[in-house]
């Protein structure tokens, strides 16, 4: 089983079916908060929906197309993060994440995103890490900004979010930039 220790309190564990109940509980108890920026929340109505998602993550990982993890904070599942996709031909990983609202404001996601960025460059020898967030999602955008990512542009109407489109800000970190910052 893959577990990447970020620090004393924080680890990333490759998602598996044993995480179904915890992940569903997190989503179910934070629906209103998560729904503001995540278009899949209304489609997660029961634990079986979470199991289907995890099975897709596991298939994609086995095919070397992505890597999704649960975030363990002091041993408890508090969210998910990982590479939503990996473009091996262009050597780019696309990081995605969400965190239960009760755990925000503790620097958890900044440390997680940094660990994923470091892992992409050190272990996978990738050239670029990409993070995208809705323009109005200030909390999510603060993560790549805090880590020194470059704002590369805005993709207009990038995502349909229940009843409207949202624009996405694209942030990127190149290997050479990361090397200089170490």
pLDDT digits (tens, 9 = 90+) for 78-131: 999 999 999 999 999 999 999 999 999 999 999 999 999 999 999 999 999 999
Mean pLDDT of the chain: 96
In order of their start, the domains of the chain are 3-181 (3.40.630.30)
CA–CA distance, 56 with 156 (Å, rounded to integer): 28
Q: Is residue 34 within 8 Å of 41, Cβ to Cβ? A: yes
CA–CA distance, 67 with 57 (Å, rounded to integer): 7
CA–CA distance, 99 with 79 (Å, rounded to integer): 4
Burial (CB < 10 A; 0-12, 13-18, 19+), residue 43, is exposed
Q: Phi and psi dihedrals of 153, rounded to 5? A: 160, -175
Angle between helices 47-62 and 20-28 (to 10 degrees): 120
Mean pLDDT of 30-52: 94
| 1 pLDDT more than 90 | no
pLDDT, position 163: 94
pTM: 0.95
Q: What percent of the chain has pLDDT over 90?
A: 98
- Collapsed DSSP state (helix, strand, coil) of residue 55: helix
């Amino acid at each position: 089983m893959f577990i990447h220790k970020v620090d004393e309190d924080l680890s990333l564990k490759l998602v598996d079916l044993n995480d179904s109940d915890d992940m569903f509980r997190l989503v179910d108890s934070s629906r209103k908060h998560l729904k503001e920026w995540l278009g899949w929340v209304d489609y997660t109505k029961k634990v079986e929906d979470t199991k289907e998602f995890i099975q897709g993550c596991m298939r994609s990982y086995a095919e070397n197309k992505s890597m999704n993890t649960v975030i363990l904070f002091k041993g408890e599942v508090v969210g998910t993060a990982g590479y939503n996709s990996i473009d091996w031909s262009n050597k780019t990983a696309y990081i995605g994440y969400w965190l239960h609202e009760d755990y925000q404001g503790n620097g958890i996601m900044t440390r997680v995103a940094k660990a994923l960025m470091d892992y992409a460059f050190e272990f996978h020898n990738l050239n670029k890490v990409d993070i995208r967030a809705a323009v109005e999602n200030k909390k999510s955008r603060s993560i790549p900004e805090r880590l020194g990512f470059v704002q590369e542009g805005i993709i207009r109407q990038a995502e349909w979010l229940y009843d409207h489109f949202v624009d996405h800000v694209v942030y990127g970190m190149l290997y050479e930039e990361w090397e200089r910052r170490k």
